[in-house]
Amino acid sequence: MGRIGILKTPHGKVKTPALMPVIHPGKQTIDVKKYGADIVITNAYIIYKNEELKEKALQDGVHSLINFDGPIVTDSGSFQLSEYGDIDITNREVIEFQEKIGTDIGTSLDIPTPPYVKRERAEKELEITLERAKEALDARENLMLNSVVQGSTFPDLRAKCAEIIGKMDFEVYPIGAVVPLLENYRYRDVVDIVMASVANLPPSRPRHLMGAGHPMVFALAVAMGCDLFDSAAYILYAQDDRLMMPTGTYKLQNLSEMPCSCEVCNKYTPDDLRSMKKDQRMKLIAQHNLNISFAEIRTIRQAIIDGNLLELVEQRCRAHPYLLDALRNLKKYTQLMEEYDPEYKNSAFFYSGPESLNRPEILRHQSRLKRLPQKDRVLLLPVFKKPYSKNIKNLLTSFGREKEYDLEKLGNFYKIEGLKTGNNQVMGESLQVTVVDIPFGVIPLEIDEVYPLAQNEAPSFLDEDSKKMVKGKINEYIKNFSEVIISEDVVKKFDLDFDLENFNINDLRLDFNDKEKIKYIADYQFGKGAGKALFYGDIQIVKSRKTGKIRHVYDGEDLIATLRASDGIFVLSISGAKRLHKFLEYPKNRVVVNSDAEPFAREGKSIFAKFVIDIDINIRANEEVLIVNENDDLLAFGKSILNAREIKDFKIGQAVKTRKGGK
């Protein structure tokens, strides 16, 4: 759910995920811009309460007051309200004040209900927060506004709050009152709160996880859809002689080596720092903390581009048992995360432990298996070298002119006896060859080159969780067949308990047929039956001379689709798009644009989100999609840049990168 975005403000654009250092008005000594800050946050209430600061802010503006010319977010005093119980400013006054001092993004005076309070209190305070949100909209003129999601540790209240304020016209949605949870390492509760909030907030608006300033949690929070962070921690930790790292915190008193390569840590030893005056030391440690925090934000943005953010999250969450708890708690939300997970990525899937089994790619594979054609018998093979369908050719043995697969090279095979199958049809002869592997379970050989079934790596020593998972997948899968032939290796590896009968593997004749393979891939990619609908007529398959992989599929001279080498999926030609459009029922796989966008679409120009009037809600990012008008005439086809929910919600930016117009 992590994304790279651009947040536009009156003082410029900010690339998200972004970290906003907290600036104390009047006390700031570090130039945070030098360390990578493009946006900062300060407190409007503190300015309001101090006559001198207030006067200067009203006269010269808040940018001059804190000497920062980029975007400034101001908080309203809610924190002071939660600390001291009462503050002497009204919601309307604080909104008007923020507008007057030229804040870029202001905040209403919400009630930050602490964690674990009685439900009655959380509900009552939420009502006030919602009233104040409404009032804030009424009080503002041009000010961009935050509206904070509250609701204590009740996920349903968070969800309700997010849904209500999400429908109102706010520019940014902070998720509030999580600091006590973070301070007490209650990361798993933070997961429930953030997911309940984000699931109900509009995708087109940034979310700010308030008070989460330690780089340990950035990756996890971004993966849950948070875009903005604020850090007072860089200075608070420095005051305590503590150095932040993405994997935890070091106390200066315990250090004999500097554990970092930033300019501060390269220049000074722990002894140097300890011998300094407090002020000088604090400033240097704060600089280290900023360096580390911004480096982590950059690392996260790169991981999003590479498509391996969840791998970074898995690494980071191993740094603390309670972060691991949070990672394990994410399992509950795999379905939601799958919606936001791009279908095809630039990087391979790396298995880093049992938590990787909860990744969206695995869930997606399980559901797409159901789209494939059904055969009578199945042969379950152990793993060999990837890609299997290519390397199974190494098992070929020549007998005179006949070539046969010598499956004995893969060990002994058995037939499973007394299997109660769900398939009551008459037993036929068609054979499904399937490899059993972690973490994807069962992989029919026809689709083994489709992302990420070939593009993944897992250790060869199996852990109990993956064994258990794969065992379950095998049991579920074989129900679809009337006869199951299984390798001894698979039986042993996954502790399968079947009655087995010896089987002479040489009785099997394997037949790998490219015409069948392309249909499987199309079904897996577009849905059941898509293969038949796309590939009929005088099918000609052109392979790469270099790699032997399928490249193009023609009907006679007419190109239907090209199989992309990097991820093994089909990119359609206009003829292919027409065939798919004819086959798939509306609104499946479609992005519907209004009449303004129609001529542009026909010319092959990209589709902007604001022109989209309807969409198949199951569309994910990076999917091959059909572009149609309101009458379902095919205009063009292309690649979705966002998922369906995002395309529906965004009013700016590209939705589909058009490959070809139908003009």
35 or 187: whose CB is closer to Zn ion?
35
244 or 435: whose CB is closer to Zn ion?
244
Residue closest to 563 by CA, chosen among 554, 553, 555: 553
- In the annotation, is 75 catalytic? yes
199 or 258: whose CB is closer to Zn ion?
258
Tokens of 372: 């494939």
Q: Does 620 bind Zn ion (CB under 5 A)?
A: no
- Per-residue x/- marks for Zn ion, 303-322, CB under 5 A? --------------------
Least distance in angstroms from the C-beta of 292 to Zn ion: 6
Residue positions counted in the chain = 663
Alpha-carbon span 5 to 637, nearest angstrom:
25
Considering only the stretches 175-183, 287-295, 408-416, 432-440, report the one whose residues sit in contact with Zn ion under the rule CB under 5 A.
287-295
27 or 34: whose CB is closer to Zn ion?
34
Q: Does 58 bind Zn ion (CB under 5 A)?
A: no
Alpha-carbon span 221 to 434, nearest angstrom:
38
Alpha-carbon span 444 to 454, nearest angstrom:
12
Alpha-carbon span 504 to 407, nearest angstrom:
10
| Dihedral sign for Cα atoms in the order 34, 37, 38, 41 | negative
Secondary structure class of 569 (helix, strand, coil): coil
Whether the bond between 17 and the residue before it is cis, its omega within 30 degrees of 0, is yes
Alpha-carbon span 67 to 616, nearest angstrom:
48
Alpha-carbon span 45 to 192, nearest angstrom:
30
Least distance in angstroms from the C-beta of 298 to Zn ion: 15
Q: Does 281 bind Zn ion (CB under 5 A)?
A: no
Residue closest to 3 by CA, chosen among 248, 198, 178: 198
164 or 260: whose CB is closer to Zn ion?
260
Q: Other CB atoms closer than 10 Å to residue 617's CB: what's the count?
A: 12
Catalytic residue among 75, 104, 110, 437: 75
Least distance in angstroms from the C-beta of 26 to Zn ion: 28
- In degrees rounded to 5, what are phi and psi of residue 429? -110, -10
Tokens of 425: 């049809």
Least distance in angstroms from the C-beta of 289 to Zn ion: 8
273 or 560: whose CB is closer to Zn ion?
273
Residue closest to 284 by CA, chosen among 17, 276, 429: 276
Alpha-carbon span 350 to 361, nearest angstrom:
11
Least distance in angstroms from the C-beta of 219 to Zn ion: 19
Residue with tokens 């790596």: 457
Least distance in angstroms from the C-beta of 312 to Zn ion: 20
262 or 297: whose CB is closer to Zn ion?
262
Least distance in angstroms from the C-beta of 274 to Zn ion: 15
HSE-up of 418 (CA within 13 Å, CB side)? 5
Helix or strand run (H / E) with residue 145: strand 144-146
Residue closest to 313 by CA, chosen among 289, 337, 280, 342: 337
HSE-up of 517 (CA within 13 Å, CB side)? 23
Least distance in angstroms from the C-beta of 436 to Zn ion: 47
- What contacts 24+ positions apart, CB below 8 Å, involve 128-136? 129/161, 130/161, 130/164, 130/165, 132/91, 132/108, 133/108, 133/164, 133/165, 133/168, 133/170, 134/168, 135/91, 135/92, 135/95, 135/108, 136/91, 136/95, 136/108
Q: Residue 657: what residue type?
A: K
Q: Other CB atoms closer than 10 Å to residue 472's CB: what's the count?
A: 12
Q: Report the site for Zn ion in 252-271 (rule: CB under 5 A).
A: 260, 262, 264-265
Alpha-carbon span 462 to 560, nearest angstrom:
42
Q: Does 336 bind Zn ion (CB under 5 A)?
A: no
Least distance in angstroms from the C-beta of 259 to Zn ion: 8
266 or 504: whose CB is closer to Zn ion?
266
Q: Does 244 bind Zn ion (CB under 5 A)?
A: no
Residue with tokens 């509206």: 147
Alpha-carbon span 283 to 32, nearest angstrom:
11
Q: How many residues bind Zn ion (CB under 5 A)?
A: 5
Q: Tell me which of 288, 345, 602, 659 binds Zn ion, using CB under 5 A.
A: 288
194 or 273: whose CB is closer to Zn ion?
273
95 or 265: whose CB is closer to Zn ion?
265
Least distance in angstroms from the C-beta of 238 to Zn ion: 12
HSE-up of 278 (CA within 13 Å, CB side)? 3
Euclidean distance between the first and the last CA atom of the chain, given in angstroms as a whole number: 36
32 or 265: whose CB is closer to Zn ion?
265
Least distance in angstroms from the C-beta of 182 to Zn ion: 22
Interacting residues toward Zn ion by CB under 5 A: 260, 262, 264-265, 288
Residues serving a catalytic function are 75
